[in-house]
A and B are shown apart, each in its own frame.
Chain A
Amino acid sequence: MEFFGLKIKTAVMFVALVLATAVFWGPILAIEMQSSNYTIQSDDSSGAGGLSSTVNYIFRDTLGEVSTGRIEGTSYKLRAGFQEMQEDYLTVSAPGDIGLVPDIPGISGGTADGSATWTVISDNSAGFNMKIKVATDPAMKLDGSYYFDDFTPASAGVPDYDWSVASNNAEFGFTVEPETDGDAVQAFLDNASDACNQSSGSQTINKCWLDFNGTTDVDIIDRNTRTGASGEDEVIKFRAQSNAKFMLEGAYSAVTTVTVASN
């Protein structure tokens, strides 16, 4: 006797394993607690369940709650019930177009700067990561003949502490300045002196410039905690410079896309 093409025994074992998986991982992934060692992601005010604690932890749990939906105000967001809490909430804003200023004279050259803020809201306790990519390689172009080369750091993939463009060159790059300094990936952390890519570094304004990696994502932020209700304002700064390289006049542009994923 077969069940969906499988023998009964086999089918029974499959179902058993799936259930075991759900039973094993479900509580672990769904419930979070906090003390010095734990975090409780959510709690409820119903009579069932309750607060349990030891020296090492405080445990609030509940039982048999139903999902009661979401309520949002200008200053709060409420997801009532455990079932709602099991959904990972992640949003990223769209900053609109960015204009680099000032205009760059086509003959003598110059430097233009601009920035944009992406606001990320994530309730994932493990935080999120952010990547950026551009639509073309090189990124900042007028057409096939006239473009800004992608910034060329001294070491590929490692940001330069200071922005510098050689004579008769024109380059375009970026740096990231997250709302929480430590959220920047290591590459954008510096020693406040002359080097980036410092494992225990900090963030210095307008330092650590990197090039885009063509149409491939570049890691820029890795946050390991949830954000507040208003999210985190992640600032990305862009810079273009022509060091006396002749650039045909016109409207140059680069199209960028930011991707945020929960950790």
Chain B
Amino acid sequence: MKFPVKLLLLCSIIFFATPFLYGRALAVSDEATINLEVTGSCNSNGVCESALGESSASCSADCGCNNDGTCQTERGENDQNCILDCYSAPEDGVIGGGGGVFTPYIQNIFIENVTPNSASVSWRTTKPAFCYLFFGETTEYEKETTSETQFKIDHSVKLTSLTVSTVYHFKISCNDTAGFLAETGDYSFGTLSVLNNVSNLKISIGSTRLTLTWDNPSDLDFSKVRILRSTDFYPTEPNQGKIVYEGDGNLFIDTNLTNGVKYYYTIFTYNIAGNHSSSGAIVSGIPQAEPIMSPSTIISPSTPPAGWEMFFGEFNFFVEDEDIVWVGKTTIKTSAHKQLLVSIYDRQLPPRAKTIIFTLEKDNEAFSFILSSDEAKILHEAAIPPTLGAGNYSIIISIFDQANELIGETRGELRLGRATPVFQFRWYYELPIYIIVLLIAVILIIFGLEKERDIFDAIKRRKTDRNNKI
């Protein structure tokens, strides 16, 4: 009998597996979902919770200024970041009823884009307001301009048709929707001067003498130049330093000087009305035994101290009837033979700044001009004469403090292209010509008509003669 090994094995498996299978139960629960909400760092509860990652950038519902008229410290509002809600106007800055936070307050008054004939004034009110700007050449504000036609917070008005090189005064008066009034004190600014400086100023050095040469401006109203000298630094006003020359010449020899001493000269120009240029052309030299010819003085004798940075783009450049094109941040392009006005607002200068010198360099020649402050002490400006030909010029703008120490410097480039001829109707030139042409035309027409009548008469006579013969 064959022993059923396979069967025995199968049965053994069943036998021993039985206890493991016998009565064993399994239960599986339904799926349970675990949910978690991740918020976008803003729970919109009106409280700015930085600990939860809320910020004015990510959670404007809870953080930052909402200009709703109520100062909410829980939102982080304060009188610095939320003027409309939190600013308490000082009593002496307000004229009229209201008071406290309910009265509009005028602030952030800026005078910008000053040209010889125009300027822009902008300001902000702490509440929507309707404002007037009164201005004139005196504090009587003999002119008036209405800056806007609706209630708003940011205001701006452009004053045009202004007189060159003139100081203007203005004040602003605003009413809010409730009728509360706010008014500023007196503000002033000066328009740019277009009186040109001398050009091509050079100095030649000799023993105990210095010789200055220059080209006078070609302006029809040019009257004279005044040369001022100092051994401290460049005179910045026509009444600073010692007047060493006045006249309409283009050469001055300063004699009896001390060799080895540096002499600073500034030349102001005057027109026939007695006005002087707002800036001056400058040059300096040291007399010495060995005569040399110097094109001019390189102004920057030292490196400005670290920690104060000045940007070329902070300076304003203006050319009448011509666009200034910026190429990058430090290069400007315009046409040659145009007067270039350079200016910078006083508020953009460091507190210690006293003298700003604008220098143009090309082909080892340098011409420097002082940016003089206007009467209102708002703007410093210089007029670069229109004698510069086409080409590329390096610009160096240097700032000196009260001790005449260099405290800032920035550099750029001026690219002058050939001026595009532009037709411009000048009545005082063209109108007489037009009148003459018109008269000639009239004469020719009359003469032509006379001739035509003679011809007609001749034809008529000929016809009459023919008829008589017949």
Residues of A in contact with B (beta carbons under 8 Å apart): 9-10, 13-14, 17-18, 20-21, 24-25, 28-29, 86-100, 103-110, 112, 114, 116, 118, 120, 122, 124, 135, 139-140, 142, 148, 172, 238, 240, 242, 247-262
Contacts and interface: CB of A to CB of B under 8 A. Distances in A.
Given A25-B22, A124-B25, A257-B28, A100 B36 contact: yes
Given A104-B39, A124-B25, A257 B11 contact: no
Contacts of B30: 94, 257
Nearest to A174: B34
A108 B43 CA distance: 13
Contacts of B10: 14
A91 B41 contact: no
A97 B29 contact: no
Given A108-B52, A249-B39, A261-B24, A238 B34 contact: yes
Interface of B: 4, 7-8, 10-11, 14-15, 18-19, 22-41, 43, 51-54, 58
Given A17-B14, A122-B25, 14 more contacts: A95-B29, A103-B39, A105-B54, A107-B53, A109-B53, A110-B52, A124-B25, A249-B40, A250-B38, A251-B37, A251-B38, A253-B36, A260-B26, A260-B28
Contact of B37 (A10, A96, A104, A148): A104
B17 to A, nearest CB: 9
A105 B39 contact: yes
Nearest to B37: A103
A248 B7 CA distance: 64
A247 to B, nearest CB: 5
B34 A98 contact: yes
14 contacts: A13-B4, A18-B14, A25-B19, A86-B23, A89-B25, A98-B33, A103-B36, A103-B39, A105-B41, A106-B39, A108-B53, A124-B23, A124-B25, A255-B33
B36 A252 contact: yes
A135 B8 CA distance: 44
Contact of A92 (B28, B34, B38, B53): B28
A29 B24 CA distance: 11
A14 B53 contact: no
Contacts of A89: 25
A114 B32 CA distance: 12
B24 A262 contact: yes
Nearest to A135: B31
Nearest to A122: B25
